[in-house]
Structure 1
Amino acid sequence: MTAPQELRRAPVAVPAPDDDERARLLAEAARTIDAPGLVIALSHRGRRTFRAGGDALSGDGLRYELGSASKPFTGLLLAALVADGRLRYEDSAAALLAPDHPVHPAVRAITLRHLITHTSGLPSLPADFYPQALPRWSTAPYSHYPADRVVRAFLRARPRHRPGTRWHYSNFAVSVLGHTLAAATGTPWEVLLQQEVLDPLGLDGTRLRPGPPPGDAVGHRRDGRPLPALDTGGFTAAGAVRSTPPDLLTFLEAHLPSATAPTHPLDTAFTDVRRPLLRRGLRHAHTHTLTWFRHPSPRGPVCFHAGATLGQQMFLGFRPDTGTALAAMCTRRVHRTDPFIATVHELLTEKL
């Protein structure tokens, strides 16, 4: 569940491609990515195109591990609960998780908004995560760190910075958010996500745990050896979602303003997660919404999130101004010189 790579290029006006040109661009991108399995799924104003590579089938029904690209699902769940009046973004996470537990004042000040926007001051992972994970680093580093341990680590934390003052990408924070939403509603996170997000959107092919074969795509090491399905332990809200290419397009299409009817139960939540919320970096060049990275493009802003697990990679993105959405996934472990994220980000930002 690695942090998304951030890529930013200066906008240059270019004409929009037609359907044939979009299909050619997908095929060209697929040829540059070497992976045992690859799917690039495009939706443009409701018209879908799938391009497969390796042993993947075009538009296949296999479920792929989203890793950190699960976070937009958790963020949408939070937005839905806020829109329904059941929670507020300004609610204290510690007060909802353990109202009578003594915590550091900075922990008490961490809100639900801080957790989802990576401004809580919490580290990427708890300090005691690494010693227990090292023996299983290449196979199952999260599996022996359960939910109760994540919560305990949060309640005894000492944030590095005052909440709301700095941005630091944190799987720990989003995982705490998942447990907080469960505690506040009295409903397990998996059930809550199913009821509030997956069912309303009709995402029947999306799951939160591995299923029996052949339903889940198999990830691979860099040398091509297969890997077991990811076990996220207590970090489910940060990276446990697995989904099919058609479901992912449905999820992204629902974020496009024209795709959501005014009476859709998640309409207000979608408006919240699309809205620019904070800026950071040199000259505040990097923009974020509640759940998405947001970059400029020649045809309007692009919202996106990437993710990687031990043997799979994922990219989700959409461009509201043109009704364009892209989901890309491959079944090979990420490495430093890997072109996957750069290729599909450029595809959505500059070419499609």
Structure 2
Amino acid sequence: MSPGEPAWSVNLLAALRAAAPGASAVALAVRRGPDHAVLATGSAALRGGAAAGPDTRFEIGSLTKTFTALLLAEMVARGEVAYDDPITRFLPRAAAPHLRGAPITLLHLATHTSGLPRLPPGLLRSGAAHWFSNPYAAFSATDLRAALARTRPRAAPGTRVRYSNLGVGLLGALLTHAAHGPGASFAPLLADRVLDPLGLTSTSCAADQPQATGHWHGRERPTWQIPALPGAGAGRSSARDLLSCLDALLDPAAAPAAVPATLRAALADVTTPRIALPRTGRRIALIWNIRPARPTTSITTPAVRGASPPSRASARASTWRSSRSPTRAPP
């Protein structure tokens, strides 16, 4: 616990240590009303790593999708793309999926209603040798185009919510194409439009910077490489950065003064409900699920949990009106 953090965080840190006795590193960020606490325990590697802290980077897996959604909303605010743009606007004709009826739009990709499968065709073949350690590493942009060309949506666009890593990874690729043309890189675009303006200095898609080492049953695992679909899960971040981002999402007006107007608009737009799911009370925003919740103290919690990479994180933002969590599924 750092000096100046609220007294109640002492008990949370003790509970954190007790709940994860076998973990090499665990980090937790909490917001209770005006108070914030960022807690960490353990070391960044199981054997001999540096002490874990608020700025220790973890692979955040599907939380990356929430940043991809912010990038989409920011580009919409700029007028560079529109939510109802068909994906064929940004794809070569030969790479377009086989569609019946209505086109797939960028909004469909961001709400998991595109009908695209969870994983791209061909991923199992390219990643079989490393399926439990680095399944996306050998799946290239060429493989992605070939996969799209033979993909047939499982449902008509806009008719069903079906989680799709392929869909959100494709969204990141299309946004990159729209901003900088074919062959451009997603990571610099995300940093320029979202991460740097928000001051998220520990957040990036870079796999070559220090981070917590992932483990599986006590054995080290390599960092994930996702060259063709980085917008689906290539992010790394810290508990401190995730809390800062969630603060901005919960109150866009309180985001740093240097945040551009387009990003401030995106922070509000990204959690605007787009779809209501009958009988559940759930609503789907851009990647985020919004669920009814009992009145509670406002609390925001990025923490380690069961996402895909062995060094992993998750986030949940709760208010008295609703709880918000990103849609998620492995890998």
Aligned to 1:36: 24
Over 3 Å counting, the alpha-carbon distance change for 1:190 and 1:307 in structure 2 is farther
Paired positions, count = 305
Could you tell me how far apart the structure 1 residues matched to 2:258 and 2:203 are? 24
Q: State the Cα distance separating 1:219 from its structure 2 match.
A: 0.4
Residue 273 of structure 2: aligned partner: 276
2:11 is the counterpart of 1:24: yes
Amino acid at match of 1:272: D
CA contact (8 A) 1:59 1:246 kept: no
SS at 2:214 equivalent: coil
- Counterpart for residue 117 of structure 1: 111
Aligned mate of 2:245, from 244, 248, 251: 251
After superposition, the Cα gap between the structure-2 partners of 1:206 and 1:228, relative to the gap in structure 1 and judged at 3 Å, is same
Q: Offset at 1:304? A: 8.6
**Alpha-carbon distance between aligned partners in 1 of 2:8 and 2:150, rounded to the nearest angstrom:** 55
Quick one: percent identity of the two aligned structures?
Answer: 33
Change (3 A) 1:242 1:102: closer
User: Which residue in 1 is equivalent to 2:230?
Assistant: 236
The offset of 1:274, in angstroms, is: 1.7
Q: 1:219 aligns with which of 214, 221, 230?
A: 214
| CA RMSD, 1 decimal | 3.0
2:129 match:
135
AA aligned to 2:20 is I
Distance in 2 between the 1:289 and 1:129 partners? 28
Structure 1 residues 235 and 28, CA, compared in 2 at 3 Å: closer, same or farther? same
1:105 partner SS: coil
1:309 aligns with 2:308: yes
Render the CA deviation track for 1:80-109: whole Å, top value 9, x for unaligned: 000111110000112222257665334970
Whole-angstrom CA distance in 1 between matches of 2:299 and 2:115 = 27
Q: Is the 8 A contact 1:209 1:241 kept in 2?
A: yes
Q: Which whole-Å deviations, capped at 9, do the CAs of 1:136-179 have from their partners, x for residues lacking one?
A: 11221111101232133223321111000001101000111111
Does 2:207 match 1:210?
Answer: yes
Give ranges in structure 1 of 5+ residues lacking alignment.
Answer: 1-17, 327-333, 335-352
| Higher deviation after alignment, 171-180 or 100-109 | 100-109
Q: Give the partner amino acid of 1:310.
A: P
| Alignment equivalent of 2:175, drawn from 171, 178, 181 | 181
Aligned counterparts, 1:288-307, within 5 A: 288-299=284-295
Q: CA deviation at 1:30?
A: 4.3
Instruction: Report the TM-score, using the length of structure 2 for normalisation.
Output: 0.82
Instruction: Specify which structure has the bigger relative contact order, considering alpha-carbon pairs within 8 angstroms and separated by 6 or more residues.
Output: 1
Whole-Å separation in 2 of the counterparts to 1:307 and 1:268: 31
1:55 maps to 2:54: no
Return the alpha-carbon distance in structure 2 between the equivalents of residues 296 and 101 of structure 1. 40
106-115 or 141-150: which moved more? Answer: 106-115
Cα distance change of structure 1 residues 93 and 264 upon mapping to structure 2, 3 Å threshold: same
User: Secondary structure at the residue paired with 2:211?
Assistant: coil
Give the secondary-structure state (helix, strand or coil) at the position aligned to 1:49. strand
Q: Tell me how far 1:36 sits from its aligned partner.
A: 1.7
- TM-score, normalised on structure 1? 0.77
- Shift in Å, 1:38: 0.6
1:55-204 correspondence to structure 2 within 5 Å: 55=43, 57=51, 59-98=53-92, 104-106=98-100, 109-186=103-180, 187-204=184-201
Per-residue deviation, 1:37? 1.1
**After TM superposition, which residue ranges in structure 1, 4 or more long, deviate above 6 angstroms?**
300-307
Aligned-partner SS, 1:283: coil
Deviation at 1:120, TM superposition (A): 0.3
Letter aligned with residue 199 of structure 2: G
Closer/same/farther in 2, CA of residues 180 and 119 from structure 1, 3 Å limit: same
Going from structure 1 to structure 2, the CA distance change for 1:310 and 1:268 (only over 3 Å counts) comes to closer
- Structure 1 residues 175 and 36: CA distance shift in structure 2, 3 A: same
3-state secondary structure, aligned to 2:206: coil
SS of corresponding position for 1:104: coil
How is 1:319-330 mapped onto 2 (pairs within 5 angstroms)?
Answer: 319-320=318-319
Could you tell me how far 1:117 is from its partner in structure 2?
0.8
